[in-house]
Amino acid sequence: MNRRTTSITVRLAVTIALIIAAGGIVISVAAYAYGRQAAQEAYDRLLAGAAFQIVQSIAVLEGRIVVNLPVSAFELLALAPDDRVFYRIIGPDGGTITGYEDLPTPAAASEDVAFYSDEYSGETVRLAAALRRFAERGFTGQVQIIVGHTTRARGALARDITTKALGLVAIAGVALVALVAFAVRSSLGPLARIEQALRSRDPKDLSPLTVSTPREVETIVAAINRFMGRLASRVTIMQNLIADATHQLKTPIAAVRAQAELASEEQDPARLRTIAGRIHTRAVGLSRLADQLLNQALIIHRSDAAAQEVIDLREVAIRATDETDHDLLSTGLDLHLDLPEHPVHARGDALSLVEASKNLLSNALRYGAPPVSFSVEHKAAEGIAEFAVVDCGHGIPESDWRDSGRRFARSAGSLPDSAGLGLAIVNAVAEAHHGRLAFSRTPEGRFRVALEIPVVEGAP
Amino acid sequence: MIRMTGLLVLVALLGLAAGRADAQGIDTQNEIALFGAPLQTARAVLAIDGSTDTEVFAPILEAFAKRVPDVAIRYREITTNELYDLAERGCSGAEPAADLVVSSSIDQQVKLANDGCAQPNHSAAVSALPAWAKWRDEVVGLTYEPAVIVYNRDLVAPAQVPRSRFDLIDLLRPADNPFNGRIGTYDIEASGVGYLFAFVDAQQATTFGRLIEAFGRNKVVATCCSAEIIDDVASGRFLIAYNMLGSYALVRAAEDHRIGIVAPSDYTLILSRAALIPKRAKNAELARQFIDFALSGAGRRSLSESGLLVSFDDAGGGLAALSGAVPTLRPIALSPALLIGLDRQTRDNFLALWRSSLGGADPEAR
C-alpha cells in the first residue's frame, strides 16, 4: 500500500487561501486607513475652501467688521449633504461677531488654515480656522474665521473607498483562485499523459517512453525509462539464459540418453562397463555445465544487482586460488601465484570476481599446459588492475580472440566436457565492472588471458 | 368612534394652555385644537406645533386620527418665529418639547436640526423623497406650495396682469401708475416666510434689486400675514400682492372670483413646509407615523384637498415638475445653505438693504 501524501491541488489551494486571507487582512487595514485619509483630505479642502470664501467676504465698513456670508461657501459645505454646519467669526477683542459663540477654537492660531477635530453639540466635528488681518482706517487687527462640520460624509466616503477596495480585492482573489485551479490542472496534465502512455502500451513493450513532457517532469520520465531499461535487460538476460541452458543441455543429455539406450541392449559385460564409463563422463560434464549455468545466472544477477564496494583484489586472487578445483591442482600441475606487496583497491563485487578468476584458472589448468601463473598486476599509469593467467599451452587461437567470451563461442576443438561458458562468465563480470577481457601472448610466446578492471587509487 | 375622531374642537386660548404660554412670556393668540380620542381615554397625546392655519391643517390631522383611534392629537397654531423660539427652548429642556413641529419657515427648521434639536425618521417614505425635500432625514418636506403673485381680477385689466417679475417691474416704472401705494407684500422683519422668500429671491436673480427699488418708489405696503393681505387684494385696497404663499391664495381664489393668481414665468419658488421631530419628543414614534402618513397616498390626497400640496400638473406634472423637468420651478432646498439667512449679521445687512430700498414705505404698513 502506497503512503498517500496530500494532493498538490489541496496544497496549492491551502497555500493560496492563506496568502489571500493574509493579503486580504493587510489590504483591508490599508484600504481603511487610506480611505480615512483620502476622505479627511477631500473634506478638509472643502472646509478650507469655505473658510477662504468667508474670509474674502469680511469687510471693514466705517471702522466696523461687516460679514456678508457668501451662499457659495455654504453650498460648498452642503456638498457633505448630511452634515451639520458650524461657523464662528471672532473679532480682534475675542468677541464673537457672528455664528456659534461656543464653537471651539484651535490650539494655536496660524496664518495658514488650521484643521482640528473636537466634540461639539454632541458630535465629533472637524473644524478649519483661518485668519484675516486688517489695517484699515479706524480698524486694525485680525479676524478669525472658524468653519466646521460633522463627520458623517467623511465616514461615508471612507467606508465607500474601503468597500470598493475590498470588492476589488475579493474579485482579484476569486480570479486568482480560478487561475490557480487552471494552472494546477494544466501543470499536472503531463502526469496524466504519462499515465495514459503507460496504460495504453503493450505489456511486453519495455522500450523507453516517448511522451513529450515539461522539464520538471522529465526526471520522472527518465527514472521510469531507466527502470524500464533495467527491466528490459533483465528480461533479455533471463531469455538468453534459458536459451543457453536449453541449447547447451540438449546435446549432452541426448548423448547420455543414446549411451543409456546402447547399454540397455548390450549383453557383453565388458562393453557394458565401457558404456557405463562413458555415461559417467558425460554425466560429470553435464553436472559441471549445470554448475556453470547456475553460476553465470548468479553472477549476471549479482553484477546487475549487488552493491559494489571497495575491495582488495589480492584477497580476491587468494580466494580464487583456494577455491579452485582441488582435483585439478592435485594432479600435480604447477600453479604459481604472484601478488603485489601493496593492496590493490577496486570497486566491485568480490564474489563475481572470485568466480571469474576461478574460471580463468580452471581453463588454464584444464586445457593449458603447466606451469600456470596467476597474478594480480596494478597498472597505475592506466588506472587499471589485471587478473592475469599465463600458461604454456597453445591457448585460444588468435582468430577466435574476438569471439571468445561471447555465448556459444565454442572453437571446433573444444572438448565434450567443456562448458564453453567459462569465458562468457568472465566477460560478463568484466563488463559489469566496466572492464574487459583481454588476450595476448607474452614475449616468450605464452598464452595470457587477463581480466582488466579500473582501480580506486588511494583508497584505504 | 369615527364621529368622535372627526370632531374638531376649536379652543380659543383661555385655559391651561394660555396660562402656560403666558408664564413663558409668549404673547400670542395661538389656538389649540384637539382631534381623535378624548384626552381622558387616549393612550397617548400627539402634540403638534405648527404655523399652518388650523382649519387648513385639520383635514390631514383628522385623517391621521382615524389611523390611530386611541390617540389624541393636539394641534397648536403658532407663528413661525414663536414656533422657533419654543422649539429652541424645548431643545435645551427649558420647556416641554412638542412631538412634531411643522413650519413654513424652513430655514428655522434647518437651524433647529443643525443645532442638534431634531431626531431622524429613516423611513422608506422619507428616503423616497427627492434630496432637496429632506435634510439628514430630520427635516422633512411635507407640502409643495409656490410663491405667487396675487391680483384683483376686477381692478387689474387682463393685459396688465404681470406674468413675470420683469412684467411687474415694467408695470411699476411709470411715475403715475395706478399701483402706487396699492401693492402688498410680507413684512419680512415680522414674517419668517416673507424673509425667506425675499432672501432666496435675492440669490436667484438680479431682478430682486430692481424689484425692491420699484417697490420703494411705489410705496409698497409691507405687512403681516397672508390672510390679511389676500383679503385686502379681494377688497381692492391692494391691486397686487407679491410673494404670497400659494396654498392660501389658491384656496381663496377657489372661493372668491375677484382673486387671480400668477406663478411668475421667470421663476417660481416652491416652498415645502418642513416637519421636524424634536430631540426630546415624548411620542417620537407617533410623530414618525404621522410623517409617513403625510407622505403616503392618502396623506397626499388630504394635503392636496387642503391646498397645501399644489399640483403642478398644468405646468408639467406632479413631483417630476419639481425635480428639474420644469426649469422655472425652483424648490427651496432643505440644506444648511439656508442657515445664511438666519446669520445675525447677514440678516441685519439684508434688512438694512430692504429698509433703505423701500424707503418711507413703512409708515403706511401698520
- Over residues A302-331, the pLDDT tens digits come to 766 666 788 888 888 888 888 776 666 655
Substitution target in B117, B201, B343 with the highest count of A β-carbons within 10 Å is: B343
The domains found in chain B, sorted by start residue, are 2-144+273-334 (3.40.190.10), 145-270+340-364 (3.40.190.10)
CATH, range A207-305 = 1.10.287
Please state, in angstroms and rounded to a whole number, the distance separating the CA atoms of residues B277 and B282. Answer: 10
In the three-class reduction of DSSP (H, G, I as helix; E, B as strand; rest coil), residue B26 is classed as: coil
Q: What is d(CA B131, CA B163) in angstroms, rounded to the nearest whole number?
A: 30
Residue in B114, B203, B349 closest to A85 by CB = B114
What does the pLDDT look like over A160-206, one tens digit per residue? Answer: 998 998 888 889 888 888 888 888 888 888 888 888 888 888 877 88
Q: Which residue has the higher pLDDT, B230 or A333?
A: B230
Percent of chain A scored above 90 by pLDDT?
19
ipTM: 0.82
Å from A107 to nearest chain B CA?
Answer: 24
Specify the domain boundaries for CATH 1.10.287 within chain A: 207-305
CATH 3.30.450 in chain A is located at 8-159
Residue in B203, B340, B345 closest to A97 by CB? B345
| Confidence label for B11 from pLDDT (cuts 50, 70 and 90) | very low
Fold of the CATH domain A8-159: Beta-Lactamase (3.30.450)
Neighboring chain A residues of B337 at a CB cutoff of 8 Å: 71, 74-75, 77-78
Helix axes A152-200, A8-57, angle to 10 degrees: 160
Can you identify the CATH homologous superfamily of domain A306-460?
Histidine kinase-like ATPase, C-terminal domain (3.30.565.10)
B246 with B226: CB under 8 angstroms?
no
* HEC string for A258-299: HHHHHHHHCCCHHHHHHHHHHHHHHHHHHHHHHHHHHHHHHH
Is residue B311 within 8 angstroms of chain A, CB to CB? no
Give, to the nearest 10 degrees, the angle between helix B246-255 and helix B54-67.
Answer: 100
A168 CA: distance to closest CA in chain B (Å): 29
Interface size, chain A vs chain B, as Cβ–Cβ contacts under 8 Å? 53
Confidence band for B241, pLDDT divided at 50, 70 and 90:
very high
Neighbours of B144 (CB within 10 A): 25
To test the contact with chain B by mutation, choose from A53, A64, A67, A150 the residue with the greatest count of B C-beta atoms within 10 A, namely A67
Say yes or no: A27 contacts chain B, CB-CB below 8 A. Answer: no
Residue B320, pLDDT above cutoff 70:
no
Distance, in Å, from the CA atom of A366 to the CA atom of A357, rounded to the nearest integer, reads 14
Q: Per-residue pLDDT averaged across A125-134, rounded?
A: 92
Of A66, A67, A78, the CB nearest to B336: A78
Task: Give the mean pLDDT of A375-389.
Answer: 87
- For B272-289, what is the mean pLDDT? 95
Q: Which helix (H) or strand (E) holds A8?
A: helix A8-57
Residue B164 per-residue DSSP state: S
* Strand pairing class (B134-135; B329-331): unpaired
Judge contact between A43 and A153, C-beta under 8 A: yes
Yes or no: say if A447 and A368 are a contact pair by the CB < 8 Å rule: yes
Residue of A172, A155, A169 lying closest to A38 (CA atoms): A155
Q: Look at the alpha carbons of A31, A34, A38, A40 in this order and tell me if their dihedral is positive or negative.
A: positive
CB proximity A78 to B under 8 Å: yes
Among A40-49, A141-150, A240-249, B193-202, the minimum mean pLDDT is found in A240-249
Strands (E), A330-399: 335-338, 345-348, 372-379, 384-391
- Answer whether B116 sits within 8 Å of A81, measured CB to CB: no
Of B116, B336, B349, which is closest to A66 when you measure between CB atoms?
B349
In angstroms, rounded to a whole number, what is the distance separating the alpha carbons of residues A121 and B115? Answer: 7
Return the minimum-mean-pLDDT range out of A232-241, A263-272, B102-111, B312-321: B312-321
Query: A442 at the B interface (CB within 8 A)?
Result: no
Contacts of A98 in chain B (CB under 8 A): 343-346
Assess whether pLDDT exceeds 70 at residue B315. no
| Residue range(s) of every CATH 3.30.565.10 domain in chain A | 306-460
Which of A66, A67, A74 is closest, CB to CB, to B339? Answer: A74
CA–CA separation, A275 and A214 (whole Å):
71
- For residue A15, the model assigns a pLDDT of 85
Burial of B87 (0-12, 13-18, 19+ CB in 10 A): buried
Indicate left, alpha or beta for B359 from its phi (over 0: left) and psi (-120 to 50: alpha).
Answer: left
Mean pLDDT of A362-368: 80
Q: Are B85 and B112 in contact (CB under 8 A)?
A: no
Q: Is B83 helix (H, G, I), strand (E, B) or coil?
A: helix
A82–B135 CB contact, under 8 Å? yes
Closest CA to A399 of A409, A387, A389, A388: A409
Number of neighbours of residue A394 by Cβ within 10 angstroms: 13
Pairing of strands B183-186, B240-245: parallel
Interface of B with A in 324-353 (CB under 8 A): 335-337, 339-340, 343-346, 349
